[in-house]
Amino acid sequence: MLRVAADDPCLAGHFPGQPILPGVLLLDALTAALCPAPPAEMVLEAVKFTAPVRPGQVVTLRWRETAPGRAAFEAEADGARVLSGRAIWRAAPADRQP
């Protein structure tokens, strides 16, 4: 889950009078949940932002692995889908893991 605080610095200027969570931060939270260790490579496909995420909303991230290194994902806020898509990743070699 991800909660957007009303005073989060990422909201400043995005957009004045109508603040929304920048989509790249939503994707960053999702990819961190999918792959706790940084992957060697990740590709996001068919990404759709379907509703804005506003301050104070709680975002629920869900995914299901469709094959090794592949997943379908979605995010919801207040019961409405805000994001969906697919991810493909390749794990980094063990000697390059943090």
pLDDT confidence of 9, banded at 50, 70, 90?
confident
Q: What sign for the dihedral angle of Cα 15, 20, 26, 29?
A: positive
Beta strands in the chain (DSSP E): 2-3, 41-49, 58-67, 70-77, 80-90
Supply the range of the domain harboring residue 90: 2-96
CATH, residue 62? 3.10.129.10
Please name every residue paired with 3 in a beta bridge, in sequence order, or none if there are none: 58
Phi then psi dihedrals of residue 25, to 5 deg: -75, -35
- Counting the structural domains of the chain, the total is 1
Beta-bridge partners for 80: 77
pLDDT at 59: 95
How does pLDDT run across 25-82, given as a tens digit for each residue? 999 999 888 887 778 888 999 999 999 999 999 999 999 999 998 999 999 999 999 9
Q: How confident is the model at residue 20 (pLDDT cuts 50, 70, 90)?
A: very high
